[in-house]
Chain A
Amino acid sequence: MATTLTTDSTAALPTLIRRLTGDEKHAPSAHSTIDVLQVLYNRVLRITPETADDPERDRFLLSKGHGPVAYYAVLAAHGFIPDDWLDDLAGPESRLGHHPDRMLVPGVEIGSGSLGHGLGLGVGTALGLRAQGLLTPRVYVLLGDAELDEGSNHEAIAYAGATGLGNLTAIVVDNSSTTHGWAGGIASRFTVNGWTADTVDGRDHTDLYVALTGHRPGRPHVVVARVESKG
């Protein structure tokens, strides 16, 4: 049985991110996913390096695989990968590329990068857990608002909602980067298909925690985490 990891990685992240980017000027908040990842790994996900293969672990799937700096830093802060891996991002011998590869990086559940793949894999993972009677683990899939442009997401949204896939949570980090916008709001794209939804400040850890643990029985849940515009 996996145990909840309560280690707070906040203090370690600025140094770890600098090792990846060499960027002295920008704070961790330059990364749109950083706060969601911190709350997930600090307080929500039941997964540790020791339980990374435990069938009972929660699954975190980074669908928005581009810009994985924050993800790698959080994985290092929580002991999934050695810190010194961060010093060679995408080098010829590096295991850390600009898109993560599950076959190369411990703790990474899916290889991603091409947008629109994670939610379908997440639906299948949630179904597979349920079919095997693994009713405790939850599947979390992190997407971006522009990623929702890919039609494959809407196949997954419609099906998960129609079948009441209650062990699935999607998180959409919304930095207003989608080209044509989402008229009516992102959450409505999910709720019209039967999901429950919370839209919160993607920088507010308390609100994020409440939303990320706010799923209700028998329905998939989406958290829309709004952050400043990508500009």
Chain B
Amino acid sequence: MTAMRAAFIDTTTALLDEDPRTALVLADISASQFAPAGARHPDRVLNVGIREQLMIGVAGGLALTGLRPIAHSYATFLVDRTYEQIKLDLDHQGVGAVLVSIGASYDGSREGRTHQSPGDVALFDSLGGAWTVRVPGHPDEVAPLLRAAAATDDPVYLRLGEQRNAQAYPDADRLRVLRRGGVDAPLVVAVGPMLDPTLAATEGLDVTVAYTHTPRPFDVAGLRALAATEVVLVEPYLAGTSSAVVGRALADVPHRLLTLGVGRADLRRYGDPADHARWHGLDAEGLRRSLDAFLGSVRR
């Protein structure tokens, strides 16, 4: 059990006890961990079996009656597989849910492509823009983000993974500067668990490093305040996912943008998540190579 997943289970269990509006819908994943909560709240802890389309349909129906559903599975089953249910059973009905994934882009490196979801955040971007997307970088960020989500009726995606930073910044829903460069220094934005490799990669560089666990809505005001000419995004999901957001935010400002993240190819390789980070250029060395090439490539 990873620390983020444990934080999700503990917090959801507490929410089920505290708030009769909270309902949990599972598709077998994590069902045994929620058995005690299910014994106390059999009408609000619902395991539909390995039926992810139904999981989201049920979440939509629960929300239509005024409950606050939380649905949970691996990202690829929760989001990729149920994309049309998210689009129609939640968004089109005008209701929200809290969708909590585990597995992220390649935590399931040894399981292969079938258990990986680098494109999940991009899929939410294809919807109407109402989704809040949270990508915590530390287990201590999970509980406050989940509690905040449960207190609303908004659509919220909480993306949990096994990669984590050394330090938690629960208040980093807006860009939080963790290293400040000189005047007009390039801005490097690290999302979620990309912070620590980004800090290591930028050691000794004159750049500003900002962190957020909330890529949607993206902190556009913070970006405009911090951005000079060069902007670099380091995201733990599909490379370029936030490029359109940054492009719109800086449309009236001359800028150059480098978007780093998970590549689009099915690598057809197993190994550890650290291997995949290296193959996608998302370890500290790979990030440094990309940064050096980008920052050194400008034509003055």
Contacts and interface: CB of A to CB of B under 8 A. Distances in A.
A102 B61 contact: no
A117 B94 contact: no
A111 B61 contact: no
B66 interface: yes
A50 interface: no
Contact of B43 (A109, A120, A131, A152): A131
Given A114-B88, A127-B43, A131-B43, A121 B57 contact: yes
Contact of A124 (B44, B51, B59, B94): B59
Contact of B88 (A109, A111, A119, A134): A111
Q: How large is the interface on B (under 10, 10 to 19, 20 to 34, 35 or more residues)?
A: 20 to 34
Contact of B48 (A111, A121, A134, A155): A155
Nearest to B82: A152
Which of A116, A117, A122 has the largest count of B CB atoms less than 10 A from its CB? A117
Nearest to B61: A124
A170 interface: no
A120 B85 CA distance: 10
The prevalent SS among residues of A at the interface is helix
Interface string A145-158: 00000011001101
B85 A129 contact: no
B57 A132 contact: no
Contact of B23 (A110, A131, A151, A159): A131
A123 interface: yes
Contacts of A103: 94
Given A102-B93, A110-B93, A123 B85 contact: no
Contacts of A131: 23, 43-44, 62, 65, 67
Contacts of A159: 48-49, 51, 54
A128 interface: yes
Nearest to A137: B65
B149 interface: no
B85 A117 contact: yes
Contacts of B48: 155, 159
B193 interface: no
A55 interface: yes
A111 B57 contact: no
Contacts, number: 100
Contacts of B25: 124
Contact of A125 (B20, B44, B56, B61): B61
A126 interface: yes
A126 B20 CA distance: 16
Interface in B41-60: 43-44, 46, 48-49, 51, 53-54, 56-60
A128 B62 contact: yes
Interface in B129-156: none
B84 interface: yes
Nearest to A152: B53
Interface in A65-112: 101-103, 109-111
B57 A123 contact: yes
B172 interface: no
A156 B23 contact: no
A85 to B, nearest CB: 20
A31 interface: no
Contacts of B58: 120, 123-124, 127
A128 B66 contact: yes
B264 interface: no
A189 interface: no
Given A102-B94, A124-B64, A125-B64, A117 B54 contact: no
Given A111-B93, A128-B23, A128-B66, A120 B61 contact: yes
Nearest to B42: A131
A130 B43 contact: yes
B66 A156 contact: no
Interface of B: 20, 23, 25, 43-44, 46, 48-49, 51, 53-54, 56-67, 69, 84-85, 88-89, 92-94
19 contacts: A111-B92, A117-B57, A117-B88, A117-B89, A120-B54, A120-B56, A121-B64, A121-B93, A124-B60, A124-B65, A124-B69, A127-B43, A127-B61, A128-B67, A129-B65, A131-B43, A131-B65, A152-B53, A158-B51
Given A125-B61, A158-B51, 14 more contacts: A55-B65, A120-B57, A120-B61, A120-B89, A124-B25, A124-B57, A124-B59, A124-B61, A127-B58, A127-B62, A131-B23, A131-B44, A151-B53, A155-B54
